[in-house]
Amino acid sequence: MKYLTEFRNGEIAQRMAREIAAITTRPWKIMEVCGGQTHSIIRNGIDQMLPAGIEMIHGPGCPVCVTPLELIDKALAIAAQPGVIFCSFGDMLRVPGTECDLFQVKGACGDVRVVYSPLDAVELAAKNPDKQVVFFGVGFETTAPANAMSVHLAKRRGLKNFSLLVSHVLVPPAISAIMESPGHPNGEDLPLGTPGNKVQAFLLAGHVCSVMGYWEYPPLAEKYRVPLVVTGFEPLDLLDGIRRAVVQLEAGRHEVENAYERVVTFEGNRAAQKLLGEVFEVTDRAWRGIGVIPKSGWRLSDAYREFDAEERFQISGIHTQESALCRAGDVLRGAIKPAECGAFGKECTPRHPLGATMVSSEGACAAYYNYGRFLSAEELAKTVVSCQ
């Protein structure tokens, strides 16, 4: 298939890995921001193709994983109310709240529905005027335009029974938070590999940049002296992004490069950005496992505040309780690899997840579990045989 198979060619991938090895003279730590990229790296074994000194650090770019527990609990409380149709993408249904998940609410009493677009939820609202229809609008800049459009359409159609439970987060402030976290070698005279954050270059998420462009990133590259490479999701896309990052690191450069030109332009989608600017306004956001990052999210603007589910349902008295065992915050900051969490594969598995990073299709813990990164080479070989 065009745009897929030609970016999965194993021979070219091997050649690109050899090129990266040939230009690498010292260890480098590169963070892929997006959880989709993490899964592609682990599934395709890209990190294992790289020279020993190059470490891929998995970033916080999984929207399901960083949605605060408090908001999950609010979603559960709204979904359990009579007269509510609670709509969500499927990946939120098994994310654990303090006491249960949306699947369990659906099984018990709630009208919880999986939709493929927030616009489906708008149609449900139009067809069910006696119900309150709520869409769970989480995600990065990528999913925000469709969510913005849903509210925009609901307003234009005069639908008073549609609302959005919003938890949108933004990539640039997350990069700043990572670069300003304690122990970063670029910020202080600390040796490389100091505990804390260690990222020396970023692969930017291609789908986020397809919406937002990459005009926001040059000041970050300059301020933190890190290469930022807009990168896609297929194996050759990722190897190209890594190669470009290493070339810059080896040359002591820190620039923004676009390695995903077939999708991303510098300006991005201006029409989408205009709609986002109308429907949302920037706000401080709490990131699950990380904490509050200033100006790192969107909420509905004053013109659309009447569609805010948090205000409409007046959910109060929500007390959240994170698992004491879960180290998802450390995983999301790139401080540890998933298998370094003591609960990985024991108390925490995809069937019984303690944290969202184990249940989300973009979560790093799920990637390590699903692709056997906790098994010895012998155990992994047995798994392959048993699958044949």
Interface contacts to ligand SF4, rule CB under 6 A: 325-328, 331, 338, 341, 343-344, 348, 353-355, 357-358, 365
Q: What is the dihedral of CA 139, 142, 145, 148, to 10 degrees?
A: 10
| Beta carbon nearer to ligand SF4, 42 or 149 | 42
CB of 344 to ligand SF4, least distance (A): 4
The tokens for 19 are: 């090129």
| Beta carbon nearer to ligand SF4, 81 or 323 | 323
| Beta carbon nearer to ligand SF4, 304 or 344 | 344
CB of 346 to ligand SF4, least distance (A): 9
In whole angstroms, what separates CA 176 from the centre of its chain?
A: 16
Task: Judge whether 149 and 122 are in contact, CB under 8 Å.
Answer: no
CB of 42 to ligand SF4, least distance (A): 14
CB of 331 to ligand SF4, least distance (A): 5
b/e burial code for range 314-337 (CB count within 10 A of at least 16 → b): ebeeeeeebbeebbbbbbbbbbbb
Per the DSSP assignment, residues forming a β-bridge with 132 are 84
| Beta carbon nearer to ligand SF4, 318 or 335 | 335
Taking residue 169's Cβ as centre, other Cβ atoms within 10 Å add up to: 26
Instruction: Give residue number: closest CB to ligand SF4.
Output: 355
| Beta carbon nearer to ligand SF4, 213 or 355 | 355
What three-state secondary structure class fits 201?
Answer: strand
The span from the CA of 202 to the CA of 190, in Å, is: 20
| Beta carbon nearer to ligand SF4, 123 or 322 | 322
| Beta carbon nearer to ligand SF4, 184 or 327 | 327
| Beta carbon nearer to ligand SF4, 278 or 347 | 347
Write the single-letter amino acid at 220: L
CB of 322 to ligand SF4, least distance (A): 9
CB of 43 to ligand SF4, least distance (A): 18
By CB atoms closer than 10 A (0-12, 13-18, 19+), residue 83 is: exposed
CB of 384 to ligand SF4, least distance (A): 23
The span from the CA of 357 to the CA of 50, in Å, is: 25
CB of 383 to ligand SF4, least distance (A): 19
| Beta carbon nearer to ligand SF4, 57 or 331 | 331
The span from the CA of 98 to the CA of 96, in Å, is: 7
Alpha helices (H) in the chain, listed in sequence order: 10-23, 35-43, 46-49, 63-66, 69-79, 102-108, 118-127, 144-156, 171-179, 206-212, 218-224, 235-251, 270-279, 309-313, 328-332, 356-359, 364-370, 377-387
| Beta carbon nearer to ligand SF4, 305 or 346 | 346
Q: What are phi and psi of 85, to 5 degrees?
A: -105, 115
CB of 364 to ligand SF4, least distance (A): 8
- Percentages of the chain per state (helix, strand, coil), in multiples of 5: 45, 20, 40
Taking residue 20's Cβ as centre, other Cβ atoms within 10 Å add up to: 21
The span from the CA of 355 to the CA of 375, in Å, is: 21
Which residue from 179, 149, 87, 176 is spatially nearest to 304, judged by alpha carbons? 149
CB of 329 to ligand SF4, least distance (A): 8
